[in-house]
Amino acid sequence: MKKVKQTILNLSLKTKWILTVGATIFISYAIISIVLFIALQTWLLHNEEKNAMRTVDDITSFFESQSSAVTIQQLQNNTALMKAILNQEQTVRIFNFDGVEVIRINDVMHAAPLPQMTGDYFSPIIKQQKVETTDAFVVHKIVQIGPFQGMMQMIHPLTTFHAMLKYILTTIIIVGLGALLFSVSISYYLANFLIKPLVQLRDAMIDVRKRGFSAQPPFNYRADDEIGDLLTMYRSMMNELEISFTRQQQFVADASHELRTPIQVIEGHLSLIKRWGKDDPEVLAEALDTSLEEIVRMKKMIEELLQLARREEVDGHAIADVELVLKNVERELVQLYPNVQFEYDVIGQKELASITEQAAGQIFRNIISNGIRYNEQEPTIQLSIQYTKLAIIVTISDNGIGISEKHLPFIFDRFYRVDEARTNHIGGTGLGLSILKMLAEKYRIEINVKSSVDKGTSFILNFPLN
């Protein structure tokens, strides 16, 4: 049983489909046909019985209508009238009580054995039985013909009934086979039509596994149904996967490239120490300082890379007071850069932003520390917080060196650093704004940047209110 189940499970989807449709139609048709056949058989048999009884009644009435002096001989000479009462297949015989046949009307069937006279045969008694090899209704009844009393035997053969049943059965089987053949061929075409895109999808997946994302065979299924949805979903998932795969490759390539530079610098300085540093304390001190600087930069880069790679789930219930977060960031940065000035401007009724305090802190810290570092004057950071009905708009402006128009579109790219003589000495990883962009996308924060060289840069952040 288990083996049969497994064999059925292992069949192709198309075969399973056709078998299911075929079996369902066959079983339904068989049940309907059996019920119909039994009902028809009962009805027809009942009709035959009624016919037989009617003939017996008619013959009895005929005998009763004869005068009381009528003799058997008279009736024997005139059977034509009685024949008209019977149909062609019925045979009636009258026996005396010694079992001798005295009258025979029609002679289609042989006589059936006479019953033992135990029952009350004054009213007709009908039985379905075989007469020689033919199935028939046999009716026995005591009749009075003038002074004569005897037993009437009427045989009503069921040949027409059986022929009719045979005919109905043949029709049912032929129609059933035709319907089965028709439904199986329809379901074969339907299965072919519906399973084709699934087969295409499977082949496409095999192709992608073998040849990578470049192998994207087109699907020619255009219907707007579940299969159409599945194909659209597959296409969009594949596109997303391809984008994220390419991004990851790019990320690994960029990261290894960026980490190679500080390692090379450290390697150079260590060789320098090995060759001359032991004897020259000045070279030793300088080489160690530079190496340490590079190590700190590498450490920061690794931390930031890990942060970018982690991509935690969005906390839907998070809330943050942006003013409070900004104050905390200010407190941290003032310790690192004591000469920085902060100016605040708050408009509107305070609202809470849907973001974790940690993420908001990271965003503000990255922007403000850039404003301080990329600055050749006493850094002043202007913070404007505007509460509207739909959003909290935070504008962070600095009086730094600014970003030229040609660089502005790329500052959020990973490892992108504006490579100009003025910024070269400022240690950075080019990841700070990428982290900012990742967080902004996560919490649906809109960012706009305005900058003019030598005047300063403004980051406008739009925190949507739910």
**Residue whose CB is less far from ligand ADP, 431 or 440:** 431
Residue 189 is given by DSSP the state H
The Cα–Cα gap between 461 and 321 comes to: 14
CB of 56 closer than 8 Å to CB of 141: yes
Among 416, 442, 447, 460, binds ligand ADP (CB under 6 A): 416
The Cα–Cα gap between 98 and 363 comes to: 124
Among 320, 354, 400, 440, binds ligand ADP (CB under 6 A): 400
Distance of closest approach, residue 382 Cβ to ligand ADP, in angstroms: 12
428 touches ligand ADP by CB under 6 A: yes
Distance of closest approach, residue 404 Cβ to ligand ADP, in angstroms: 9
Site for ligand ADP, residues 374 to 393, rule: CB under 6 A: 374
Is residue 221 classed exposed, middle or buried when 0-12, 13-18 and 19+ CB atoms within 10 A define those classes?
middle
The Cα–Cα gap between 142 and 120 comes to: 9
Distances (CA, A) of 435 to 302, 365, 383, 457: 13, 11, 21, 18
Tokens of 339: 């000469």
Please identify the residue of the shown chain whose CB is closest to the bound ligand ADP: 428
**Residue whose CB is less far from ligand ADP, 333 or 411:** 411
**Residue whose CB is less far from ligand ADP, 204 or 305:** 305
Do you know the residue count of the chain? 466
- Single out the segment in contact with ligand ADP by CB under 6 A; choices: 110-118, 308-316, 387-395, 429-437: 429-437
Among 154, 322, 381, 403, binds ligand ADP (CB under 6 A): 403
398 touches ligand ADP by CB under 6 A: yes
Tokens of 455: 């005047």
Distance of closest approach, residue 346 Cβ to ligand ADP, in angstroms: 22
* Phi, psi torsion values for 221, nearest 5 degrees: -95, 120
**Residue whose CB is less far from ligand ADP, 141 or 373:** 373
Among 201, 429, 439, 462, binds ligand ADP (CB under 6 A): 429
CB of 151 closer than 8 Å to CB of 141: yes
The residue ranges that bind ligand ADP (CB under 6 A) are: 366, 370-371, 374, 398, 400-403, 411, 416-418, 423, 428-434, 457
